[in-house]
Structure 1
Amino acid sequence: MPKAVYVHIPFCEQICHYCDFNKVFLKGQPVDEYLEACEREMNELVRRFPTKQIDTIYIGGGTPSALSALQLEKLLGDLVDVFQPKGEFTIELNPGNADEEKLSVIKDAGVNRLSIGVQAFQKDLLEKIGRTHEEKDIYETINNARKYGLDNISIDLMFGLPHQTLEMFAETLRKALELEVPHFSAYSLKIEEKTVFHQLFRKGKLQLPREDEEVAMYDLLIDTLTSNGFHQYEISNFGKVGFESKHNLTYWNNDEYYGIGAGAHGYVYGQRYANAGPIKKYITSVTETGLGMFDQHQVTEQEKIEEEMFLGLRKLEGVSISRFEERFGKSPMDIFAKEIEHLRLQGLLTVEGGRISLSRNGLFLANEVFEKFLL
């Protein structure tokens, strides 16, 4: 039964060079019609796949803060009406495009957590990755948010960027800590298809840090944040105690959630689904059927077992053996005995306290570890 809601807002005023999420330029798009479709989809999902209570809502993109204040008011009002949220309620913002009017709307609707796409502090680096904000916009957005009592703030950072050095990343971490926010998400750059960076990479025109430099940046990230009182609770996420992202934990705990909007993914009643990505196709689908789904898949028992392992291992606390047994009637130590022992001997996994989790070395080779649990 779904416990969370993800809403995708695919509109952007500027397309970042690394982004492969479903997005389009805002100008000329049928935004109001899109929001009406989202409202209809919300209601239809709840009708077909009822739930008892929604614990978290997350509005991502794209750039949700690219919406006007009136459009935000419409979207947030619909979410409150349909889902009656009582827990964590997050919206993504870009520095510089969430003015006080929008922040007032956000606060009044009951949003209680912000995720701000900072990525870096250096002007040249921001320009190289296609970001349009400046360092001053970061401080202004956070200061304005705090005026409205929006103190539960997470910021996104990136490392392994073109021309980024270890010293530059150290400066980014120092400035990020000075913001005194309670949560950080920090991701290494991945070159994804259909992005500007992918085109440049294919042409040999993208100067990236060496692998050992990227590893050093991740090492620095872990050491710097943990020594400053942040708890690393997932491969890329660090929070003060009590400020972990409850919504993202829904994914890593392999729990169900509604996905709303163009290109959104959801997991309801044992079924994973993906919505149509093109805006007009999504709107047409919702108009005709009430839902935006174009791909649906009933998850098999084997797939659920695999997902329980590789999603759970993203968390630093790892996979609970007792929870696994409750869900599947057997122990992961029996199903994956050879794999777990092999990875343990390699120093990539630990098994203690009723949990299977990545070691410090395992964090750096996580994808290789996850592959071992695909049956």
Structure 2
Amino acid sequence: MTAHNNGRPPEAVYIHIPFCTNKCFYCDFNSYVLKDQPVMDYLHALDREMELTVQQTPPGVIKTIFVGGGTPTVLKPDEMAYFLASVRRHFPQWDDNIEFSMEANPGTTDIEKLKVMKEGGVNRVSFGVQAFQNELLSGIGRIHNVDDVYRSLENARSVGLNNLSVDLMFGLPNQTVDMLRESVRKALELDLPHYSIYSLKVEENTLFHTLFNKNKLPLPSEEDELEMYLLLMSEMEKAGYIQYEISNFAKPGMESRHNITYWRNEDYYGLGAGAHGYVKRQRHINIKGVNPYNEASRSGLPRLDSFEISEQEAMEDFMMVGLRMRAGVSGSAFQAQFGKTLEEIFGAPLHKLLHAGLLEQDGGTYRLSKQGILFGNDVFGEFVGLLTEV
């Protein structure tokens, strides 16, 4: 078996900050309302996890760091400064072109905090905007309004942070196709390098799930949702953005390199409460609760679970995540990672999907067709458990 990632040390870091000002109605992420949380204790625990992690698996030159949540920007400026210094201490070697992203909520990013972020090395900020209609925002439990969006982006630019992205959502309760059209128009007027646009999924353990079960969640019809997706794809394309992944659009060269690490099934460190990591064919999940995580970090790595990924499972993952990208999966990358050809392992489903018009082939590369983008889940489903059921 060939060594995963050619034996190189991980070059990507994900760090989870689990605090939020409040819990959004659709959110099933590992996040906790900030009030009365032991934030500094958490940042110390995170510092210890980083220390133990790099002892166990020394890092290479770091190419991407992504701080997600929760809402990392609820940290106060002094907490933020401590946190960023701690990252730099344990991962000291950074690529000259490092992409250091932090998720932010509009309204939690005053100038002082953004300055601390920039000084600490953050050079890309992703704002959770979701919609440009205040009534939709309050209906999904967001506490910012549209004015906060403009102010936050202006603040970021004023401290020299220009690599900005916003998240939008479609398929929201009471959202019409026209509302989405307006949101996409307003988002494009901002002329940002990158946009992520997701459809709402009703996840278990959320307020929306409870309402949905009581038939009290007025979601758009399937036809409207399809129309929304087609609309946003065509508007983004018209504006010169490349749909480099099912839900992500960028100006050429401004794709999120951190996410591409996941989609190429490459190694990354996962740090913080509830974080997932993938290093040397070993996946792990950290303890989720803040206090249990803090406690566990005192005596070792705060793991909830970790498990070997078999070669078969790694191959399936390679296909499922790789096909999310418009560039598709490359036969040579597959061969480099596994020492076998794509065709000998996945010939049958690949031919079936080509025949159905959901994939297209270009030399040794397979990618979603226009039709395949709309039926992505059917495509990925063909590879789930295909090899591991034996």
Displacement, 1:162? 0.4
Displacement, 1:353? 3.1
Partner residue in 1 for 2:77: 69
Displacement, 1:344? 1.0
1:105-162 superposed Cα distances (whole Å, 9 cap, x missing partner)? 0111121100000000101100100011111100000011001110000100000000
Moved over 3 A (4+): none
Superposition TM-score, scaled by structure 2 size: 0.95
Q: Distance in 2 between matches of 1:340 and 1:270?
A: 25
Partner residue in 2 for 1:335: 345
Partner residue in 2 for 1:295: 305
* Gaps in structure 1 of 5+ consecutive residues: none
1:262-300 superposed Cα distances (whole Å, 9 cap, x missing partner)? 0000011210000000111111111111x1111001110
Superposition TM-score, scaled by structure 1 size: 0.98
DSSP-derived class of the 1:22 partner: coil
Q: Distance in 2 between matches of 1:268 and 1:283?
A: 22
1:317-352 superposed Cα distances (whole Å, 9 cap, x missing partner)? 100011111211221122111211111111111111
1:66-94 superposed Cα distances (whole Å, 9 cap, x missing partner)? 11111111111111111123300011110
- Amino acid corresponding to residue 212 of structure 2 in structure 1: F
- Amino acid corresponding to residue 170 of structure 2 in structure 1: F
- Out of 340, 347, 360, the position equivalent to 2:370 is 360
Q: Distance in 1 between matches of 2:108 and 2:339?
A: 50
Q: Distance in 2 between matches of 1:233 and 1:239?
A: 7
- Out of 280, 302, 321, the position equivalent to 1:311 is 321
- Out of 125, 147, 164, the position equivalent to 1:153 is 164
Partner residue in 2 for 1:173: 184
Partner residue in 1 for 2:146: 135
Contact (CA 8 Å) 1:3, 1:255: kept in 2 or not?
Answer: no
- Out of 22, 37, 43, the position equivalent to 1:35 is 43
Partner residue in 2 for 1:117: 128
Partner residue in 2 for 1:225: 236
Contact (CA 8 Å) 1:17, 1:195: kept in 2 or not?
Answer: yes
Q: Distance in 2 between matches of 1:353 and 1:39?
A: 46
Displacement, 1:51? 2.4
Displacement, 1:52? 1.9
- Out of 230, 247, 250, the position equivalent to 2:258 is 247
1:90 aligns with 2:101: yes
DSSP-derived class of the 1:336 partner: helix
Q: Distance in 2 between matches of 1:51 and 1:92?
A: 23
Same amino acid, percent of matched pairs: 50
DSSP-derived class of the 1:76 partner: helix
- Out of 237, 253, 259, the position equivalent to 2:248 is 237
- Amino acid corresponding to residue 78 of structure 1 in structure 2: S
- Out of 355, 361, 369, the position equivalent to 1:345 is 355
User: How many residue pairs end up in the alignment?
Assistant: 374
- Amino acid corresponding to residue 220 of structure 1 in structure 2: L
1:174-206 superposed Cα distances (whole Å, 9 cap, x missing partner)? 000111111000000000001010010011100
Across the aligned residues of Structure 1 and Structure 2, the Cα RMSD in angstroms comes to 0.8
Contact (CA 8 Å) 2:59, 2:91: kept in 1 or not?
Answer: no
- Out of 67, 88, 108, the position equivalent to 2:119 is 108
